[in-house]
Amino acid sequence: MAVIRFLPAPKGEDSPFVRLFSHSFQGPTGLWYIENCLTTLGKQDPVAEVNSQLWNSGVESNKEIARKQKRKLTFISNILVIKDPANSENEGQVRLFKYGKKIYDKINGRANPSYPDDPKIDVFDFWSGADFRMVIHTRDGWRNYDESEFGPQKALFVNSLNEPDDLKMKVTWEKQYPLEPFLVFKSYSELKTQLNRVLGANQVEDPPFDVDDKNVTESDVTKSLDLTPSSTESESDEMKLFDDLANL
């Protein structure tokens, strides 16, 4: 159990989190493919294309390979550790926090509550956000966050008059880590070369469309920072992606 506070966008950036798709799997050669996925930026990605071919082959063994190679969704934010009984040295420290669908769904649930009489809360806000009580259980070998929840709205710091302490919040804001450096992507051709090396053959055909093979620009990174809460993908969403790619 721990209590954390999600922090606003760091200095010079527009978003309090980055949303990143990536791949991590071992090929038949024994080599690993660990790369960020260009679909994060709405671009074509060689692994997504291979997975689409495998999934639409209709062969169950190919579908299983596609499942193992599918992209993984990750979010990264700055947090302030308020309480951490297991690691008390972390308390009061700004840390980078990587999380997935379960926790993002809880953030989205506060920003877009199911009931109209529930207040909308931007949990990243210094003045009107909310602490996150993180309760972790291990179930079937996986971490489970179902019992985690946000507390009531309140300022992160208050002074002796019980008023928001802007100075303390400014000091915390200045300690945050930049997030945009996590959005680093190789070009399509570089990823294709690496994927063929991992798979052990030229299994990635040239796509029947033009691929922007330039390095990712600053504008590409900015476009990928989606501030609007949205639903995250399940395995069925991922399989639909394969179908969509096949129909391009």
Tokens 């179930």 belong to which residue? 139
Distance CA(36)–CA(24), nearest Å, equals 9
- Average pLDDT of the residues of the chain: 84
CA distances 223 to 10, 180, 210, 220, Å, are 17, 11, 20, 5
Higher pLDDT, 243 or 98: 98
Closest CA to 157 of 78, 77, 87, 80: 80
Average pLDDT over residues 67-89: 95
Within 13 A of 95's CA, how many CA atoms are on the CB side? 17
Residue in this structure with the two tokens 């999934």, named with its chain if needed: 55
Q: What is the mean pLDDT of residues 95-123?
A: 92
188-199 confidence digits (pLDDT tens): 999 999 999 999
Q: Which helix (H) or strand (E) holds 4?
A: strand 2-6
User: Which residue has 């799997």 as its token pair?
Assistant: 25
Q: What is the CATH number of the domain that holds 145?
A: 3.90.198.10
Instruction: Tell me whether residue 169 is in a domain.
Output: yes
Give the lowest-confidence range in 38-52, 55-69, 198-212, 233-247.
233-247
pTM: 0.78
Asked if the structure places residue 193 within a domain, the reply is no
- Rounded CA-CA distance 63/239 in Å is 9
Confidence of residue 44 (pLDDT cuts 50, 70, 90): very high
Domain hosting residue 163, numbered range: 2-16+78-178
- Report how many domains make up the chain: 1
